[in-house]
Every structure is written in structure tokens, then in C-alpha cells.
Amino acid sequence: MIDDEPRARSLLRKMMKSSADFEIVGECSNGYEAVESVKMLRPDLMLLDVQMPEVDGFGVIEMLRGEELPQIVFVTAYDEYAMKAFEARALDYLLKPFDQDRLDDTLRRAAFQLKGRDLSKQTSSIIALLRDLNPNKKYIERFLVKLAGRVLVVPTDEVLLIEAEDKYVRLRTRATSYLVRDTISRVEEGLDPEVFVRVHRSAIVQLSCVKEIRKDFHGDFMLLLTIGQQVSLGRNYRQKFFDLIQGQQA
């Protein structure tokens, strides 16, 4: 269970004692601890507080992209409008303050869902929920890069090139690069299509960093970026790329 308030964790710990289906294997007071604990303990269920400083509950989910997620029950004090968003996405939640009966009911449903859960559907529902709760925050604004003992925040507008590397993507900035465990297709879904464009099955570029377009005698195109790197423009991505380039010039 993850909650930044000690009293809330203490109360939930006492209430969980009546559960016949679950036992507490870990407690976390912030999002950073939560990410490391989930990766290490691999719990079946995570009771996740939504509103926490620094990294909130949704930030935890973002940092765990590419990992196998446990069943998630959000613990929240959001208002009625937000509750409709949770319900529309069929995600379970506990609205603070909640009583023993409400918790027991939630745990019974969680135990039932675990028998036939579909993690991919759960992840898609969470992404859709994020958009519902943040209608003006449609695209990724930052990447969270996990390093030894810390998490680095990399603003999206600093990333000029994204390349697929096996089960990871490499984020290239002007100064350096970072590896993030994710797929390039999933990253593409969260990026502003007017700013970033897929130019190859293994590459996404920020349009503003394209310095030159070169064509060789085979008819293939290469993009020269402002960071000095060349990227192949795949045949299946040419039309969309040139449409965007021409549209920005209009």
C-alpha cells in the first residue's frame, strides 16, 4: 500500500487484517519507494494513493511503464466529477474517508478480478483515465528516467530523437541520452503528433531538429538532425513526414 500520510497507512493496516484474500507485503510513503517496491516484491494488488507530493499515483504508473503491473485500487479524495471518470473506465477506487465495509467489498472484487485479469486492458484504462482527469494535459510533458538511487525528470521538449533498443527506448537530447524501459509505439501514443513524428519503425524525431533532408541515388531519404545524427526516413513514413513539414511551412 502506498500513501504519504502515516496515519492513513496505519488505519489501512488495521483494516486490512480482516481480509482473507490479501496480506500486506510492503508499505511505501512516496512514489519513488512504490516503484522500487513493486519491481522487487511483485505484489498481486496495489492500494495506491492518487494525491502525493513529488510523484503522485499516476506518476507511479508512468514510471512503471513496461513493467508487469499488479491489480490497482486507487485511494483518492477526488471530487464527484473525477469519480465519474474512474467509474467510466471500470477501475476500482476507494474514496477517502472509507469504512471497513467499503474496503472489504473492494478487496473481494479485486480478488475476483485477479483470477482473470487482463493487464493490457488495465494499462489502457489508466492511460484513458489520465486524459479524462487532465483534459488540458493531453500529451506527455516529461519523461521519468530511473537512475541509480534517483529519478531524473527530462522535459519532453528537450528530447530530439527517440530510438528503439530492444525492450527500451533511447531518449537523445543535445547533451546526452537516456534509456527508458518502454516500447517506441507506446511512447509515440503519448507524444504531440504536431511536434514529434515517427520516421522509421525504430525512430521518432522532433520536427524542429530536422536540419536537412538528403536523397541518395537509390531514392532513399536521410534526415540530418541538429545534433549531428542521421536518421533514415522509412518508406512507410514518408508521406506523413512530408505532409507535416509542408503544413508547418504554410
CB atoms within 10 A of CB 225: 17
For residue range 138-195, what is the model confidence (pLDDT) as tens digits? 677 888 888 877 778 889 999 999 999 988 999 999 999 999 888 898 888 888 888 9
Residue ranges and CATH numbers for the domains of the chain are 6-133 (3.40.50.2300), 156-249 (2.40.50.1020)
- Rounded CA gap, 61 and 49, in Å? 11
Dihedral of alpha carbons 187, 190, 191, 193, sign: positive
Contact 93, 86 (CB under 8 A): yes
pTM: 0.55
Question: What's the DSSP call for residue 216?
Answer: -
Kindly report whether the peptide bond that precedes residue 70 is cis, defined as omega within 30 degrees of 0: no
For residue range 32-42, what is the model confidence (pLDDT) as tens digits? 888 888 888 99
Q: For 67-76, 155-164, 189-198, 228-237, which range has the lowest pLDDT when averaged over its residues? A: 67-76
Instruction: Write the single-letter amino acid at 14.
Output: K
